A = this chain, B = another copy of it.
């Protein structure tokens, strides 16, 4: 074992262009010092995914320090969690995050990893309770980045009121990953009587959107090094579980929530249409979009309706509760720009379910689902 470790130490040094001496002959007690100094403090090493004491150290010194709580610290292979109340059902969802770059205006991959899964679980109407977190780290990735990401995760989880209760860490060789990928899975409890699903949408229902479209996608685009295009736009990444709870409190017959992430509003509305065999008709003028985001979209030839969002929620609400739902959204800090943007209609007889845009001059155009990839690795 000692030999294998020394080889790694040398490789770690090489990766950072910091080889100043040959440590292959170093004494064991010194080795402990070096591993602590160079491996844990500066860069991710293969040994951090080994199941041995180096892995224990990254867990103790990085992950537990950021978000260790009683359940996580117990140290068994599975977290043991209190049961939901009688008649509550479980909500369960998973999401992997591979966004590039890892840090961007308004957030980082850690914020996305918490918000994405919190929002997915919350769309079921569940109180989001527990998250798992699986890291796939690349050898040589700066440990300071890992710490920064974990700090964001802890802060965002606290805001959402969820606990990180179980985790896993894998390390892949340099050149076989991209710094950090994160998977989070989430568990929530759905109160009795709540039954939200895209299949529930009915003609006459209103379509609500909790804020401006496209902020996240355009932010990531502006960060990519190959694009010189720059704006002052920030990612909208946000945990929306409290916003959903606020809406459900005043609009208990809400049919469905969905966050328009990859594929944008176009995918969300096409999915709802297909699930419920209806048409989804959106008034183009009613959709809130920031001027600079729209300008960037037009310049780059993107369809704003297909750009990803990470802090927006679409809600399908019966007309009778739509105003109350809108007021609840607007009262939440993440819903100030919320709007009723359209309505659900009967599907036209001569074709399948569609999402449609009513243009400012009154025509209807089909809002296609994204086919391939507009902007890869947006989340």
Residues of A within 8 A of B (CB): 1-5, 8, 35, 45-47, 49-56, 74-84, 86-98, 100, 119-124, 126, 130, 132-136, 165-168, 170-173, 175-178, 181, 183, 185-188, 190, 196-199, 256, 258-259, 261-264, 267, 271, 275, 301, 303, 306, 308, 368-374, 376-377
Per DSSP, are chain A's interface residues mostly helix, strand or loop, or mixed? mixed
How far is B258's CA from A84's CA once the two chains are assembled, in angstroms?
26
- Given B90, B178, B185, B308, which contacts A172 in the complex, CB threshold below 8 Å? B178
- Given B74, B175, B185, which contacts A94 in the complex, CB threshold below 8 Å? B185
Q: How far is the CB of A100 from chain B (nearest CB, A)?
A: 8
Inter-subunit contact B80/A308 (CB<8 Å): no
A121's nearest neighbour on chain B, judged by CB, is: B78
- Given B5, B186, B370, which contacts A51 in the complex, CB threshold below 8 Å? B370
| Count of chain copies | 2
Inter-subunit contact B79/A93 (CB<8 Å): yes
Inter-subunit contact B198/A372 (CB<8 Å): no
Inter-subunit contact B372/A4 (CB<8 Å): yes
Inter-subunit contact B46/A376 (CB<8 Å): yes
Inter-subunit contact B83/A89 (CB<8 Å): yes
Q: How far is the CB of A73 from chain B (nearest CB, A)?
A: 11
Given contacts A84-B83, A170-B96, contact A123 B77 (CB under 8 A): yes
A56's nearest neighbour on chain B, judged by CB, is: B369
Q: How far is the CB of A52 from chain B (nearest CB, A)?
A: 3
Q: How far is the CB of A270 from chain B (nearest CB, A)?
A: 9
How far is B186's CA from A78's CA once the two chains are assembled, in angstroms?
9
Inter-subunit contact A369/B52 (CB<8 Å): yes
- Given B45, B165, B373, which contacts A52 in the complex, CB threshold below 8 Å? B373
Given contacts A308-B51, A373-B46, contact A197 B4 (CB under 8 A): no
- Given B2, B52, B172, which contacts A267 in the complex, CB threshold below 8 Å? B52
Inter-subunit contact A262/B373 (CB<8 Å): no
How far is B77's CA from A220's CA once the two chains are assembled, in angstroms?
23
Inter-subunit contact A136/B49 (CB<8 Å): no
Q: How far is the CB of A153 from chain B (nearest CB, A)?
A: 14
Q: Which residues of B contact A78 (CB under 8 A)?
A: 91-93, 120-124, 126, 186, 188
Q: How far is the CB of A109 from chain B (nearest CB, A)?
A: 12
